[in-house]
Every structure is written in structure tokens, then in C-alpha cells.
Amino acid sequence: MPVLVGKPAPSFHAKALKAETIIEDFSLEQYQGRKYVVLFFYPKDFTFVCPTELHRFQEELAEFEKRDVAVVGCSTDSEFSHWAWLQTPRNQGGIQGVTYPIVADINKTISRDYDVLAGEERIDEEGNLVVDGELVAYRGLFLIDKAGIVRHQVVNDMPLGRSIRECLRVVDALQHFEQHGEVCPMDWQKGDDAMTPDHQGVSGYLSR
């Protein structure tokens, strides 16, 4: 699996749903120079684990906005599937109330470019296209800085829900480093001591 950390986030133009509006040409380019982006992939609309994540991102949306972070979801479903799911109440397994954009990667090119697409396509001995497994996205998450560079990525298998709290912690760590030049040790939380590295990259010392 290619590691995208330190590289420009793959660009794309696709349809997306935001609130109840279908956006015909959605791109992350609108955020460059203005906002950080948390782009997260999930397998399918109308499933079990996925709505818990989408609702949790919504519940913490104000925390992301305080940090100047745009949250963007993405799956291989169509924009119409996203729209129908958004109309479905939470107590019926829907995502009613979610307001951040959800990208429709129906051609699966975005998931493939971010290397989170499960399943495999191959040509059999008779020249037929065969798909092993389902071509849906794993639970990938990418933190992209204002310059459009991926600074953090994590990919979970489909049964394993993510921690939005950990996502916020990594955002805080990145912004602390950018603002103070201090690196953040294991389990660092906002307000904790950070480390000022020596210029030889060998060791560091704790600093406020």
C-alpha cells in the first residue's frame, strides 16, 4: 500500500452531497491555502458501523471548525444514495442531520487513487473482467494541510470503526508543530509538554 504522507493529496472532481444539495463539481482545491481537510472514506451507505462514524463527525464538527478543518466524507455510492440516506432518520439507521460534504465516488477512481479500494479486478483466461470481493472503500482517513499535503493517514478494515477523538488529537499535534516548531511525543494531548528537537535530530527536551 503506497504511503501518501508527505505527498500532495490526489486531486479529484466529483459529485457530492452537502446538506440536501447535490454539488455537481466538488473538489478539495477549494480548501487549499484556506483550511485543513480531514477526508475520510467509508464502505457503504445504509450499513451499520458507517452511520456511527458519520454522526460522530457531525457531533464534533464544531471542534473541527474551531481548528480550521473541513470534514469531507466519501464512499463509492452515488449522490442519490447519499441523498436518500440523508433523508432517513437516525433511529432508522440514517444520517439525517449531517451537514458536511459527502463525495460520490461511483467510478471508484478516488478510492483507488487514495489506495483504499477493497476488492480486486482481473482478467480471466477467457478475457473476461472478474472482480474478487467488493469494490468499496476501506475506512481510510487522511489529514491534509493547507498546502494540500497529506500529513497523516490511517486505514481500518471494514468492521473496525475509527476514533474521531484520535483524529482531533492528531490535528492538534500538527497545528502545535506548525505554530511552535515543537514535536509531540506519544499520546500527546493539547496543553501537554512538547519536545524541542536538537538540530542533529538525535534527541530532544521537553518544553511548554
The Cα 169–Cα 30 span in angstroms is 24
**pTM of the full predicted structure?**
0.90
Per-residue model confidence as pLDDT tens digits over 11-38: 999 999 999 899 999 999 999 999 999 9
In 3-state terms, what secondary structure has residue 13? coil
Per-residue model confidence as pLDDT tens digits over 183-193: 888 888 888 78
How many other CB atoms are found less than 10 A from the CB of residue 12?
Answer: 18
What domains can you pick out in the chain, each with its CATH number? 14-160 (3.40.30.10)
- Is the confidence at residue 105, as pLDDT, over 80? yes
Query: What pLDDT is recorded for position 198?
Result: 66
Of 113 and 207, more confident: 113
- Is the confidence at residue 50, as pLDDT, over 80? yes
Rg of the chain (C-alpha set):
19
Query: What pLDDT is recorded for position 1?
Result: 58
Match 457503504 to its residue by C-alpha cell.
44
Catalytic residue among 50, 74, 167, 184: 50
Average pLDDT in the chain: 91
Query: What pLDDT is recorded for position 202?
Result: 43
Region 175-196: mean pLDDT is 86
Of 207 and 135, more confident: 135
Beta strands in 9-106 (DSSP E): 14-18, 21-26, 36-41, 69-75, 102-104
State yes or no: is 184 an active-site residue: no
Q: Report residue 133's pLDDT band, with 50, 70 and 90 as the boundaries.
A: confident
- Is the confidence at residue 203, as pLDDT, over 60? no
